[in-house]
Chains A and B, each alone.
Chain A
């Protein structure tokens, strides 16, 4: 599906190491996991969020920063336990509230997902529907643009 389209590479700062890939979901709004995402399904329930009803499971989530309750970390751990966690998270700024989720999940379940931060220019280059490969250990994002962005179809 993504074969033949040119890949673009961007630098990123690895907050949590590891590798994850998937389709990008991009928002300019912050996201609160507690009270905002149902961990059993990965579906966003926050009535005030543009992703309401959308599943974040297996997606690469691109949002500026976290918001909301300090229980967000537990929701991320529970998502890892239920295997509904995002494939990776890309932020402008990552808070302890988020980063602790995958750290503790790794201790409890021996698996987790990467979180990276990027500069504003990189953040702006990511679009919902892009296919993103996120390497938190090497500090790199590879983007395979979604089809309609291709100049010659």
Chain B
């Protein structure tokens, strides 16, 4: 790899111990992927800041870097913490675990990161523009920022994100390069109605199907209405990055690198053409629904963190009803969205209906043994994939309106 003078100095330790440590890891990463040189990046989203995910190894990494005096050199946002930082006690969160979470948060704050604590940094800012070179980790955020905004990040893992934040550099490889961003598989949607413009749960299923079917191949999706909501594309990003390695997708007429299918494929022919019908997605829905019967005792929303519009839609779907006795309804979001919900009174209305809002984290990171939940209703493909393994609940995968029904009645029609 060719290194600039500044990069050589960093590697040699002239810019401090932290920059040298970070540069060693970045050089190895670059070598792995055949990168010829480094490039500057303008912002970073770090994903390694949740203790329950990164473990003691992740805490070792963060504290080691912070102890070396590491400081971020570009605006750097933080992914979720393991706890709701302000209200963890309300959620029966164990003291010892909260302490580990606090140490992890401290380490990143000491480096100068912005405490956004969200898996939806695209709902919190600072936002990159189209074509901007960035380093984002957190799989759903990567897919979203690459596809919907058209900024350029590879699919990064935890920790290398912090290395990029400390050096302001990343190897030039993968999805940073325009020639690697063209689609390879044409996906035609057939037989769907107008709900394809707004039903986020359909996009969770489509994302799950795509991730599972395509691995890391880049799909060009045809047949999505031009007025499709950002929340639908967010649901697709999250589910596709959970079931597979979806890091970039193009939606013809919707996403910025796909004004036409031809442009999305970079003038080449698709390597494969697939058709997705409502029947395919019904099959995926059955796969994600592990629970039998109608009874639900948990409704979990906000994976990725709910947008203002999603919270508003949910409140409307509740239609003045309250969360039923024997049911808990958690709605996860970030502090930016919560601020907006508070300013318009929606947060108070949700709370009055018995919906419990939490920020900075989500249920996948919570020890739930005390709660005795059995069956979770959710409209998130990512929650549905991970919940049985991580928190031991069965899943009912359903649309947002059915989630509201489940919250209000404790039942979902089978």
Interface residues of A (CB under 8 A from B): 15, 30, 32, 34-36, 39, 45-48, 52, 64-75, 77-78, 80-81, 93, 95-101, 103-105, 107-109
Contacts and interface: CB of A to CB of B under 8 A. Distances in A.
Indicate the member of A35, A45, A75, A107 with the most B CB atoms within 10 Å.
A35
Nearest to A64: B215
Interface in B372-391: 385-386, 388-390
Contacts of B157: 70-74, 96-98, 100-101
A48 B385 contact: yes
B51 to A, nearest CB: 10
Contacts of B70: none
A55 to B, nearest CB: 15
Contacts of B60: 81, 108
17 contacts: A15-B32, A36-B389, A47-B389, A66-B245, A67-B211, A67-B242, A67-B243, A69-B138, A70-B142, A71-B54, A74-B48, A74-B58, A78-B57, A97-B156, A99-B29, A100-B157, A103-B29
A66 B245 CA distance: 7
B56 A81 contact: yes
B50 interface: yes
Given A70-B155, A73-B157, A99 B32 contact: yes
Contact of A96 (B48, B53, B156, B215): B156
Contacts of B33: 96
Leading 7 A-B pairs by shortest Cβ distance = A73-B157, A78-B55, A47-B388, A77-B57, A74-B54, A97-B157, A45-B389
Nearest to B32: A99
Contact of B25 (A67, A71, A103, A109): A103
Nearest to B211: A67
B245 A67 contact: yes
Contacts of B290: 47
B242 A69 contact: yes
Interface in B1-57: 21, 24-25, 28-29, 32-33, 47-48, 50, 53-57
A140 B107 CA distance: 40
B155 A67 contact: no
Contacts of B25: 100, 103-104, 107
B160 interface: yes
Interface in B285-300: 287, 290
Interface string B212-236: 0001100000000000000000000
A74 B55 contact: yes
Interface string B153-195: 0111111100000000000001000000000000000000000
Given A67-B211, A96-B32, A107-B25, A81 B55 contact: yes
A139 to B, nearest CB: 14
B269 interface: no
A135 to B, nearest CB: 17
Nearest to A48: B385
A109 B56 CA distance: 12
